[in-house]
């Protein structure tokens, strides 16, 4: 009894207070507590997250520090709790133009904790605890005319020791692999890691995906760093770079971006819309002009832009034959030759009923593909966007952004706002990962921020890693927003494929993107047999519903997406050995259905087609080659 009393005394002396916030379904519990001297600092706020499995709560995030610092003062240690808001129910319904689900609905509990630092300055920390995750952010609520700098956060995520994790080493284009690790070791980039960060809670069937959302012009974009402790991932801000400031500069009041943790089983993560749930609603009401769709893309096959008029015409003709509404005219369109100029290509596309998208250099000073420096200022954008509308262009692809600094965040948002005025769709390349802007600015169709098929042009690494990489992306990068991987390539560009033709066909379903750029040369599509060819014709790029059927990062995925009354299904084998994938049909209704299935044939370059009757109660076992896969369409009988 004496030892128990001593243990309890230590607990209560180290924790000043502890408040709980529960999700509406009671599955997720957040505990906010004040750590006292000798236990992680004096008066420092910590939080931990638990998830209910059966009758018990499992700790998915051990006690982790909170705090933020301005240039003039810190809000980390010696904080005093001065008030707590009431727990408020959150219930939001909205529709997305792009994404994994058209109609979104979320339920959560919101609570704000108010603190003061030793200088008697206020800090609020607001938590939203949803049925599928947790979001929190900092705010300075007082008003002051002068500007100030936010230089750092103490926020960190303490990952349980030994956790399996998949996180990409940071680079400003977010083009890297998500290597499997149990140690968190990163020899690159000073132990900087890019969002999103996925980890599995030890032996439990529970997963956490960490990212952020709701970034405004008042924020920079953050990353993670575990240099000090391999299991502690600290939120860190980008440093100053050339003309770009580090941290964030603003006036009061100020709010940070939302720090987001999606939590649950793998299906909960894949199907979650939490990134857009916590983002601001649409900035404009009229979205009827926004039309997502598939596009033919000239760059991949030739590792070059759109300088050659005759090749551009070939891709316009491909879009016509495949019933894809768009063609992307890539870099060097301003010096187009060999039979015609840009205006000729645009006129030809219009005569064929094909809409056009044009590429732009963001204005970088380290790469100079043209056109360059036409968007850097508002006056330049207004002039360029007005001209684009006058010549009938439907959208832009903007490439080569310079980093995650606040100036770049403002630049992204300025482009989206100005493009919307002229009814232009936007695709960001060489860019930061999605952070919820697709809800606020629904003309944002997709973002690259992925080690995609374009890398077959650059070196041979993807040849051996593609299958495992393609089965990791649905559990990491693609969860947080549309992903312009530029998939479904059957021929070889500069370096060879090892994935099968059926695997490549399946990427159209597995990878979600509001603009799906089909990257291969026209002949590669024309040479497909009738079934796979028709499967790709008029392919949808927006979905009413998404269901994860089966999967594990780097090993396999089976997924189903609904468009109207049709279900599109697909599976990928991420291993270099044969594997059987299970297509459980419980996502269907009680009717009878027909499945048109395309799967691996005798070798990687053959696809077998078959049609069969199926029911909700059934499960299909589909044999896949190493790096193989399958795709199909389910329709009611």
Tens-place pLDDT, residues 399-453: 999 999 999 999 999 999 999 999 999 999 999 999 999 999 999 999 999 999 9
Task: Identify the pLDDT of residue 7.
Answer: 36
Examine the fold and report which residue of 422, 449, 476 is the final residue of a domain before the chain moves on: 449
Question: What Cα–Cα distance (Å) separates residue 628 from each residue in 169, 507, 612?
Answer: 27, 11, 21
Task: Identify the pLDDT of residue 13.
Answer: 37
Residue 473 within any structural domain of the chain: no
Q: Is the pLDDT of residue 9 over 60?
A: no
129, 170: one domain = yes
Over residues 201-217, mean pLDDT: 96
Q: In the chain, how many domains are there?
A: 2
H/E segment holding residue 347? helix 342-351
126, 249: one domain = yes
Quickly state the pLDDT bin for 188 (edges 50, 70, 90).
Answer: confident
pTM for this entry: 0.95
260, 299: one domain = no
Task: Identify the pLDDT of residue 6.
Answer: 31
Residue 611 within any structural domain of the chain: no
Q: Are strands 68-70 and 133-153 parallel, antiparallel or unpaired?
A: antiparallel
Task: Identify the pLDDT of residue 1.
Answer: 36
- What is the C-alpha to C-alpha distance for residues 362 and 397, in angstroms, rounded to an integer? 9
Quickly state the pLDDT bin for 463 (edges 50, 70, 90).
Answer: very high
263, 397: one domain = no
| Tokens matching residue 595 | 């499945």
* Widest distance between CA atoms in the chain: 92
Over residues 374-386, mean pLDDT: 97
Residue 258 within any structural domain of the chain: yes
pLDDT per residue as tens digits for the range 474-501: 999 999 999 999 999 999 999 999 999 9
Q: Is the pLDDT of residue 227 over 80?
A: yes
Residue 526, judged by CB atoms within 10 A of its CB (0-12, 13-18, 19+), counts as exposed
Residue 538 within any structural domain of the chain: no
pLDDT per residue as tens digits for the range 54-64: 999 999 999 99
Cβ proximity of 542 and 297 under 8 Å:
no
Percent of the chain with pLDDT over 90: 91
| Tokens matching residue 270 | 């894949």
Name the residue range of residue 338's domain: 293-449
Cβ proximity of 236 and 153 under 8 Å:
yes
pLDDT per residue as tens digits for the range 519-577: 999 999 999 999 999 999 999 999 999 999 999 999 999 999 999 999 999 999 999 99
Q: How many CA atoms lie within 13 A of 173 on its CB side?
A: 16
50, 133: one domain = yes
**CATH value at residue 321:** 3.20.20.70
Task: Identify the pLDDT of residue 488.
Answer: 98
329, 266: one domain = no
DSSP summary character for residue 367 = -
Q: Are strands 88-95 and 103-116 parallel, antiparallel or unpaired?
A: antiparallel
Compute the Cα dihedral for 342, 540, 420, 213 and give only its sign.
Answer: negative
Task: Identify the pLDDT of residue 4.
Answer: 35
Residue 545 within any structural domain of the chain: no
Q: What is the mean pLDDT of the chain?
A: 94
């Amino acid at each position: 009894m004496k030892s128990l009393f001593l243990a309890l005394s230590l607990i209560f002396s180290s924790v000043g207070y502890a408040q709980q916030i529960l999700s509406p379904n009671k599955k997720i519990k957040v505990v906010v507590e004040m750590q006292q001297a000798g236990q992680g600092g004096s008066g420092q706020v910590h939080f931990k997250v638990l998830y209910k499995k059966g009758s018990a709560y499992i700790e998915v995030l051990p006690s982790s520090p909170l705090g933020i610092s301005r240039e003039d003062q810190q809000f980390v240690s010696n904080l005093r709790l001065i008030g707590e808001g009431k727990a408020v129910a959150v219930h939001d319904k909205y529709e997305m133009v792009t994404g994994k689900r058209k109609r979104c609905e979320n339920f959560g509990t919101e609570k704000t904790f108010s603190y003061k630092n030793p200088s008697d300055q206020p800090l609020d920390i607001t938590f939203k605890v949803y049925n599928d995750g947790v979001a929190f952010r900092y705010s300075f609520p007082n008003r002051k005319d002068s500007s100030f700098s936010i230089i750092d956060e103490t926020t960190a995520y303490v990952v349980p020791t030994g956790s399996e994790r998949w996180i990409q080493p940071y680079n400003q284009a977010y083009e890297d692999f998500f290597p499997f690790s149990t140690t968190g070791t990163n020899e690159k980039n000073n132990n900087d890691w890019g969002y999103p960060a996925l980890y599995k809670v030890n032996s439990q069937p529970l997963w956490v995906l960490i990212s952020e959302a709701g970034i405004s012009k008042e924020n920079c974009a953050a990353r993670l760093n575990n240099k000090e402790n391999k299991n502690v991932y600290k939120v860190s801000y980008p440093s100053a770079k050339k003309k770009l400031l580090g941290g964030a500069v603003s006036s009061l009041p100020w709010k940070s971006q939302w720090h987001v943790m999606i939590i649950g089983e793998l299906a909960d993560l894949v199907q979650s819309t939490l990134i857009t749930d916590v983002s601001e609603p649409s900035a404009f009401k009229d979205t009827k002009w926004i039309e997502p769709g598939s596009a033919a893309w000239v760059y991949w096959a030739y590792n070059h832009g759109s300088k050659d008029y005759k090749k551009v015409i070939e891709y316009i003709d491909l879009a016509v034959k495949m019933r894809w509404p768009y063609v992307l005219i890539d870099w060097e369109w301003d010096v187009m030759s060999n039979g015609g100029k840009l205006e000729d290509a645009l006129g030809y596309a219009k005569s064929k009923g094909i809409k056009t998208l044009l590429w732009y250099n963001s204005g970088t000073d380290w790469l100079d593909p043209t056109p360059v420096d036409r968007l850097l200022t508002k006056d330049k954008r207004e002039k360029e966007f007005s001209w684009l509308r006058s010549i009938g262009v439907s959208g832009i692809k903007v490439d080569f952004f310079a980093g995650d600094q606040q100036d770049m965040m403002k630049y992204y948002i300025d482009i989206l706002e100005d493009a919307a005025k002229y009814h232009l769709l936007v695709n960001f390349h060489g860019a930061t990962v999605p952070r919820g802007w697709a809800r606020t600015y629904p003309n944002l169709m997709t973002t690259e921020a992925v080690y995609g098929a374009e890398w077959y042009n650059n070196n041979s690494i993807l040849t051996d890693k593609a299958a495992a990489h393609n089965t990791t992306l649905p559990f990491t990068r693609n969860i947080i927003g549309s992903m312009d991987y530029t998939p479904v390539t059957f021929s070889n560009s500069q370096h060879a494929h090892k994935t099968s033709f059926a695997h490549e066909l399946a990427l159209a379903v597995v990878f979600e993107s509001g603009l799906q750029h089909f990257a291969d040369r026209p002949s590669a599509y024309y040479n497909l047999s009738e079934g796979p060819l028709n499967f790709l014709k008029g392919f949808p790029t927006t979905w009413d519903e998404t269901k994860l059927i089966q999967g594990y990062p780097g090993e396999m995925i089976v997924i189903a997406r609904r468009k109207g009354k049709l279900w599109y299904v697909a599976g990928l084998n991420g291993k270099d050995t044969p594997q059987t994938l299970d297509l459980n049909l419980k996502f269907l209704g009680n009717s009878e259905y027909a499945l048109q299935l395309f799967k691996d044939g005798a070798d990687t370059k053959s696809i077998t087609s078959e049609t069969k009757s199926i029911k909700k109660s059934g499960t299909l076992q589909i044999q896949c080659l190493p790096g193989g896969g399958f795709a199909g369409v389910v329709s009611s009988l």
